């Protein structure tokens, strides 16, 4: 199988396994992360483009399909898929990277400085900020039936409101970027988050 064919098969596998209701990780998130990761990689990282594309495509599959259940089942499914479709040589690296990629990952292990991991993490985080990040946050909050804002809520990392999630996570992402390219993109997207919040509070208080 050629690399192009493997990519097409992997795209189909991912589309099939991302659950429709999981609005945080739909196919378009994967597409955006792929474009961002490719951009970062071309500008500065230079990891193998094929391995990067496969890692991006697969990075949310286990989480999405097995959310709330046994995520190990998700990894086992991905390993089996990679072995069956000519990716045995990159399987170990890709699995380690996607295990470590998630922001919420509590027990990272292995090579945390693998450039493949750093590029994927940067691209994934960039898609959580800026206008897209705002849209995704309110989409997720709506799906969970969370309030948009709770005045005087403690933003202690466990906010119930979507505005609270900005303080728990989104406003911190800019300083967690690894690559220069992602840092530059994050600056603009972070400023947009601040601008959004400023306008939000202004309207909340009925100021003109």
Q: Which of residues 114-143 bind Ni ion (CB under 5 A)?
A: 124
CB contact set of 93 (below 8 Å; sequence gap of 6+):
51, 114, 116
Which stretch, 6-14, 110-118, 164-172, 200-208, contacts ligand ADP (CB under 6 A)?
Answer: 164-172
Question: Using CA atoms, how far apart are residues 7 and 3, in angstroms rounded to an integer?
Answer: 6
Q: Does 50 bind ligand ADP (CB under 6 A)?
A: no
Count residues binding Ni ion (CB under 5 A).
2
Q: Does 128 bind ligand ADP (CB under 6 A)?
A: yes
Least distance CB 126 / Ni ion (angstroms): 10
Q: Which of 74, 115, 130, 141 binds ligand ADP (CB under 6 A)?
A: 141
Write out the DSSP string of 74-111.
HHHHHHHHHHHTT-HHHHHHHHHHHHHH-TT-SS--S-
Element (H, E) at 29: helix 27-40
Binding site for ligand ADP (CB under 6 A): 24, 102-104, 124, 128, 133, 136-137, 140-141, 162, 165, 169-170
């Amino acid at each position: 199988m050629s690399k192009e064919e493997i990519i097409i098969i992997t795209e189909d596998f991912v589309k099939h396994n991302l659950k429709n209701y999981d609005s945080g990780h739909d196919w378009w998130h994967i597409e955006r992360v792929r474009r961002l990761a490719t951009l970062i990689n071309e500008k500065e990282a230079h990891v193998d483009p094929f391995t990067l594309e496969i890692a991006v495509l697969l990075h949310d599959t286990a989480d999405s399909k097995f959310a709330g259940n046994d995520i190990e089942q998700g990894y086992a499914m991905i390993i089996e898929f990679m072995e069956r479709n000519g990716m045995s040589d990159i399987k170990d690296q890709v699995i380690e990277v996607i295990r470590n990629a998630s922001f919420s990952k509590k027990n990272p292990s292995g090579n945390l400085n693998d450039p493949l991991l750093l590029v994927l993490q940067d691209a994934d985080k960039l898609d959580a900020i800026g206008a897209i990040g705002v849209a995704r946050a309110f989409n997720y909050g709506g799906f969970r039936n969370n309030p948009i804002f709770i005045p005087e809520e403690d933003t202690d990392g466990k906010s119930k409101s979507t505005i609270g999630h900005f303080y728990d996570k989104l406003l911190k992402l800019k300083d967690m970027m690894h690559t220069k390219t992602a840092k530059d993109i994050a600056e603009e997207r972070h400023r947009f988050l601040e601008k959004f919040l400023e306008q939000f509070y202004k309207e909340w208080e009925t100021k003109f």
